[in-house]
Structure formats: C-alpha cells, structure tokens
Amino acid sequence: MTPYTGLAARHVNSYHQSSSLLFQFILLEFIEACTEIHRLDSLRHRPLSSLSPDGAVGHQAAESSFHLIEKSLTKLAGSPKDHMRLFSWNFSEGLLSKLRSYCILFLQNDDTNEKELIAIQHYVDKIWQACVQAMEAIQENPQERPILLIALDKAHAAMQRLAKLITRLIYQFRDDENVIFYVLRHHQIFDQLYGQRFTAKLLGKIYPKGLKEVHLLLTKKYQQRGFDHLMSVIAAFIKEVEASLHG
C-alpha cells in the first residue's frame, strides 16, 4: 500500500515538502490503524465478553482473545516498557504515533486544512489514549473486563469520527492524480472499512461525471507526465470499481 509518486525519492525527507505525498502517508497509516480498530471491535464481541470462570474451553478462548487484543493494541499504540506506567510508553512506535506525525507535517505545509487536521489529531490522540487504557487493563488485571471493554468502545467510537474527517480531506485533492489514484488502487480496503460501494459513491460525489471523469483525469495527467504504462492499470481499476456498483 505504498503511496505512488511516479518518481524516485531524491532525499530522505523530501516528502515533508509535499502535501500530496504526506496525505498519501496519512491514508496509509489510517487504513492500517482503522483495520486494527475493526479487528479489536470484532474481538471485543468474541468469547471475551462471555467468559465462564469455571469453563476450560471458555477460558482458553478468552485467553486467545486477550492475546490478539494485546497484539493489536501494541501495533496501534506501541510497546509498553516493562513494569512502567502509562506515561512511559514508547511514543515513537505504533501506527497512531506515525499518523499524528504525518498530520503535524501536513499542517505545517498547508494551513488551509487547519481545522480538519487539528480535529484529526484530536481523535488520533483519543484513540491512542483509549488503546493505552485497554493495554493497562490487560497488563494489570486481565479479569477487569469492564474497563477493557469500555476502553475498546471508546477507541472504536473515536475511529468512526476520524474516518469521517479523513474523507473530507480526500475531497480537497480532487485535482491531484496521485491521491485519487491511491484511493482507486485501494478501493477494496476502503470498501471494507467504510461499507460496500464506498469508493464508487465517494468518487461519484467528487466528480459530477462519475468514474468516466476520474478515468479521464488520471489518464490525461499521467500521460502528460510520460507514464503511459499506467493506462492499462488505471483502466483495470476503474472497471473493478464499476463492477462493485453492480455487485
């Protein structure tokens, strides 16, 4: 799911100056983080919530759920230090830390999206805090299910708000072929996260003439840049999104 720039990076931090590329990195981390939150929500409704203290099978299932929950939480918020409290977590690790860092860089480049990006950072922080609370509950007392479940619900609710904000930013890149191509290429995962036919509906709202306009925009701009080899790739993805409308 790496962002497509059409050009090789010349400098390690060159993407810091590109709002288009930064937004693709934001989408990348968002997709992965949202996928993990969906996974946590699914686990939250598994045997964990119906654990029978004296049932061996139920206990094994709950232990498995706890392990998978802890794994997802670590991926989202980073690894906890041994025997250290909440404030000592490693901020440099985790999908949410990277997502917030990209948003900060994006805000520095483009202050026109200030309100949306501040709101995005707010919800990223809320998700992170909820994930840390959930991990604390697992590490300190695995039997404290109410605290764990409440924290997981908070993370899921904040992610839903974040997901809505992300789609607003996509609208603002309607003339950027790289961002639109990114969305097109990852239409399946967007549809999984947002619901069936999401990508087709989103592009239909952004472009009055629908997918035909998207196709025209991408082919025109990439041909101007000399990327003729992408024409067949673009056409194939357009067909896939069109097919999703009738699926």
Helices (H), 45-94: 56-77
Nearest CA to 101 out of 181, 3, 26, 21 is that of 26
| 82: CB partners within 8 A, 6+ apart | none
Q: How many CA atoms lie within 13 A of 184 on its CB side?
A: 30
Both structure tokens of 206: 């952004």
Give the CA distances from residue 118 to residues 22, 89, 111, 164, in Å, rounded to whole numbers and listed in that order: 16, 23, 10, 14
pLDDT digits (tens, 9 = 90+) for 84-94: 444 444 445 79
Question: pLDDT of 89-140, one tens digit each?
Answer: 444 579 999 999 999 898 888 767 788 889 999 999 999 999 999 998 888 7
User: Quick one: pLDDT at residue 64?
Assistant: 76
Q: If you average pLDDT over every residue of the chain, what do you get?
A: 83
Q: What CATH architecture is 13-173? A: Up-down Bundle (1.20)
CATH 1.20.1420-classified regions of the chain: 13-173
- Which pLDDT tens digit goes with each residue over 153-207? 999 999 999 999 999 999 999 999 999 999 999 999 999 999 999 999 999 999 9
pTM of the predicted protein model: 0.83
Helix%, strand%, coil% for the chain, nearest 5? 75, 0, 25
Token pair belonging to 59: 């206990």
Nearest to 79 by CA among 91, 69, 62: 91
First to last CA, the chain: 24
pLDDT of residue 201: 95
Q: Is the dihedral of CA 73, 74, 75, 76 positive or negative?
A: positive
